[in-house]
Amino acid sequence: MTDRLAIAKRYEAALFAGRMDEVKSYFTDDATYWVMGAPPLGGEWHGPAAIVRAFSNREFGLGKADWGYEDVWREWYEADERVIVEIRERSWLKSSPADVMDVRTCAVLRFRGDRICDMRDYTDAGRYASFLAAHRSELPKFS
C-alpha cells in the first residue's frame, strides 16, 4: 500500500468515526470538494473548514435524517496523484425501511504531497432525486 492510499483510508476512517478535526487535517488549505449534481443535492465547497462543515451538516445529498446504512463494498485504486474508490452502499430512512437506496459512488481524491487538494464525488444524483420525490416530507433538509 502506498502512502497516498494509506492516507485516503485513514481520512475515510476519521470521517466515518466523526473525528472532524482529523478529517480537516487531511486537506490542503485550498482544497475543493465537488459533489455531482446541482444544489441542494450536489455542489462545491472550498477550503477545509467548508468541507468539514458540509460533511458535519450533510449539506450535500439528502441531508441529515434518521438513516439506516449498510456498506456493501469498496474497491480502492491508485493512479498518478490520485486515489480512486468505487463504493456500493445501501441506505434507508428508518421510518421507511422497505425503500432501500442502493447507491454506487466513485470518489476521486487528488493529492498534493501527502494531503488531499481536490475531491470529486460522483454519487448517483438521479437515485437521490427519485428518493427525494418519494420521501420529501420525511427529510428535514427539504421540509
Distance in angstroms (rounded) separating the CA atoms of residues 128 and 142: 13
Question: What fold characterizes domain 3-142?
Answer: Nuclear Transport Factor 2; Chain: A, (3.10.450)
Look at residue 143 in the predicted model and tell me its pLDDT. Answer: 84
Which residue positions in the chain have pLDDT lower than 70?
1
Q: pTM to 2 decimals? A: 0.93
Residue 18 gets the label, from left (phi > 0), alpha (psi -120 to 50) or beta, of left
Instruction: Break the chain into its structural domains and give their ranges.
Output: 3-142
Percent of the chain scored above 70 by pLDDT?
A: 99
Mean pLDDT of the chain: 96
Nine cell digits for residue 59: 449539506
Q: In Å, what is the CA distance from 116 to each residue of 34, 61, 120, 134?
A: 13, 21, 11, 36
Look at residue 19 in the predicted model and tell me its pLDDT. Answer: 98
Provide DSSP, 92-141: EETTSTTS-EEEEEEEEEEEETTEEEEEEEEE-HHHHHHHHHHHGGG-GG
